Each structure stands twice: as C-alpha cells, then as structure tokens.
Amino acid sequence: MSGSTPSAGGRPRQYLGTRTGRRLWLVFFLAPATVLFAVFITYPILSALAFSVYGWEGIGRRGFIGLHNFVRLFATYPYSGLLVNAFWHNVVVFVVTMLLQNVVALGLALLLARGPWGTRGYRVIFFLPVTLSLIIVGFLWALFLNPIFGIVNKLLISAGLSALARPWLGDPQTALLTLTLINAWRWLGFPTIVFLAGINAVPDEYVEAARIDGASEWAVTRHVIFPLLAPAVTIIVLLTFIGSFNWFELPYVVQGVSGGPNRSTDVLSLFFYRMAFGEVDTGLQDIGIGSAIAVLMFILLVTVSAVAAVFLRRREVELA
C-alpha cells in the first residue's frame, strides 16, 4: 500500500516510484519463493494427480487410460483387499487416538488450567516427547517391547501379571493398538498445550459470572469452557485426522514396509510407498496403482481440511 505513492519528483535517478521500477522490485522479492514453491510443490502435486490416469511400466509413463487405475485399485486382487485393509487401519488409528490421546490431553489441560503448583514445569515435561524424532521413539519402544528382553514384559511378570506378557508388536491382535499407543506417548503434549491455551483464553469474567450464579465446578466446565473450546477441538480433530491418514514413520520403522505382522499394521501411506518404490519381498511395484492411492488420499485430506476450515470460520463468527 505504502509503495503505491510515487516518491517525490526531482530525483532524476530514482526510478522506484515509477511503475516499471516498482514492478521489477516486486519480481525480485517474489521470484525466489515463487519459483521454489512452483517447481517443488505445485508441479509435483499437479503431476501426481495427472499420473493416475496414465498407464505405467516400471517408472516409464505409457498412454492415457482414463480411470482404469482406479478400477484396478477398487476391483482387482490383491489391490482392493489391501486398500480396504489399510484404510480400515487408518480409521482405527484415528478413532483410538481421538478417544485415548485427545481425551487424556483434555483432562490434563483442564487440570493445568487450574494453575496447580508446578504448572510451568509440567508443561515443559509433557511437551518434551513431541520434539523427539519418531525414529528414536519407534526404536526405543521396540526395544522396550521386545518379547524376551524388553522392560514392559519384565515389569508385567514381576507384577504377577505374566498372563499379560506377550509379543505386543509381534502379535497381529495387538500390534496396531500398541503402535497407536506409542504414537500417543509421543504426541500427547501437543493437544494438551493447544487445549490449555484454549481454556486460558476463556475470559475470566465468564467463569466468575457463572460461579456467582452458583454454578458447580463441573457446570462451569461443561457449559462455559467446553462451548468456547470448540475452535481448539476442531483444530485438534483436524490435525489428528491428517496425522492418522498420513501415518508412515512409526509403522515403517517398527514393523517394516509391509506393515507386519501379516499386514496387521499396514496403512495407506505404506501401501502407497510400496506401490511407488516396490516391495522388498515381492518386488511388486505399480506406479499406476500408487498414483490412484495418492489421488484418493489427496481428495480425502483436502475435503476434510476444507470442511474443518469452514466450520472453524463459522464458529469464530458466533463467538465474536
């Protein structure tokens, strides 16, 4: 805006105020970021969408085949079974994370918002694992959960619960749930801090007014704090959804690219990665199928993000 005022005349060599001069400066400031973004983000994403309607041989592109890749993905063995299996696991991860991690986080945030002794220290401790790499977290817990030498089973046995000691990550019954809990251990501090900020943003007058009217502690939480927490909840639901459907590092590092044991931890990103770059044991690679999976995930993630954004904006208006 400020640049639109042409600078004072009488300075013969200053060409800033002129139209072309200003345009050149704008190009100079904008070009590096724009080029980098266009080449390494926009172009690959648009190409990925286009790739799904072509035939592929290895990494070589063949002719246009319409929606044939999607038909193969949805209707032919083994792709359709793998797709449903992986998608279902993403759903399980999302639901379990919401019910366990985010509910516990909300509880912790409500406690911290009361300003107990040591709040500052607890905040720092709870958030610590969020900074650790998922590779460290995955390997660390894989060692702890080792069926023979790991400390988890050792603890269970010494507590007289040897019936519960089992190969948590090696049993298809428990592997996905265990992995989701490891993930929750790493992430718990994040929703806690977001909820805490949301609760602390509730104006003191609202809480005081409710108390003066004789509302109980629970009534204040339920009828004053929760409704005003809606934006924070929406953001956490959205981020949990994105995280659950992009889940890759933890299953890859702990269970391998095939989502073992027996595909019990296979998720969409692993399936996509195997189709794009080949599976170690079977050598199966299919870029057509991989691109079709990418398009499906893309549509899912963008749709949900857009809905959440609209929802958030509407809420903000209501609150204002």
Partner 1 sequence: MSPPPAWGGTDQGGRPRRPRGWNPAIQAVLLVNAFLVLAPVVIMGFSAFKSTREIFQNPFGLPDVWRLENFSRVWVEAHFALYFRNSLVVTAAAIVIILAFGAMAGYALGRFRFGGGDFLYLCFLSGLMLPIRLGIIPLFILMRDLRLLDTLWSLILIYAASGLPSAVFILTGFFRALPGDLDSAARIDGAGEWLIFRRIMLPLVRPALVIVAVYNLIPVWNDFFFPLVFIQTDRLKTLPLGMTAFFGQYYTDWATLFAGLTLAAVPVVALYVVLSQHFIRGLTAGAVKG
Q: Which residues, numbered 61-80, are part of the site for partner 1 (CB under 8 A)?
A: none
Selected binder of partner 1 within 71, 91, 95, 151 (CB under 8 A): 151
Please tell me what DSSP assigns to residue 102: I
Both tokens of residue 280? 């170690």
Both tokens of residue 236? 């956490």
CB nearer partner 1, residue 39 or residue 173: 39
Q: How far is C-alpha 318 from the chain's CA centre?
A: 27
Selected binder of partner 1 within 109, 175, 179, 194 (CB under 8 A): 194
Residue 64 pairs with which residues in a beta bridge?
54
Both tokens of residue 22? 């200003």
| Those residues with Cβ within 8 angstroms of residue 52's Cβ, 6 or more apart along the chain or in another chain | 69, 70, 288, 291, 292, 294, 295
Stretch that binds partner 1, among 82-90, 170-178, 218-226, 289-297 (CB under 8 A): 289-297
CB nearer partner 1, residue 82 or residue 289: 289
| Those residues with Cβ within 8 angstroms of residue 210's Cβ, 6 or more apart along the chain or in another chain | 219, 220, 223, 224
H or E element: which one contains 273?
A: helix 268-277
Of 210-269, binders to partner 1 (CB under 8 A) are 232, 235-236, 239, 242, 246, 248-249, 252-253, 269
Selected binder of partner 1 within 51, 70, 87, 247 (CB under 8 A): 51
Both tokens of residue 89? 């696991």
Of 25-44, binders to partner 1 (CB under 8 A) are 25-26, 28-30, 32-34, 36-37, 39-44
Selected binder of partner 1 within 69, 264, 290, 292 (CB under 8 A): 290
Stretch that binds partner 1, among 63-71, 73-81, 161-169, 294-302 (CB under 8 A): 294-302
Q: How much is the CA Rg of the chain, to the nearest whole Å?
A: 26
Whose structure tokens read 């073992």? 260
Least Å distance, CB 279 to partner 1, is: 14
Both tokens of residue 318? 């209501």
How many beta carbons lie within 10 A of that of residue 11, not counting itself?
A: 10
Collapsed DSSP state (helix, strand, coil) of residue 11: coil
Least Å distance, CB 214 to partner 1, is: 17
CB nearer partner 1, residue 77 or residue 218: 218
Report phi then psi at 142, rounded to 5: -60, -40
CB nearer partner 1, residue 73 or residue 108: 108
Selected binder of partner 1 within 131, 163, 214, 318 (CB under 8 A): 131
CB nearer partner 1, residue 14 or residue 216: 14
Collapsed DSSP state (helix, strand, coil) of residue 60: strand
Of 89-118, binders to partner 1 (CB under 8 A) are 107-108, 111-118
Selected binder of partner 1 within 190, 241, 247, 271 (CB under 8 A): 190
Q: Does 20 bind partner 1 (CB under 8 A)?
A: no
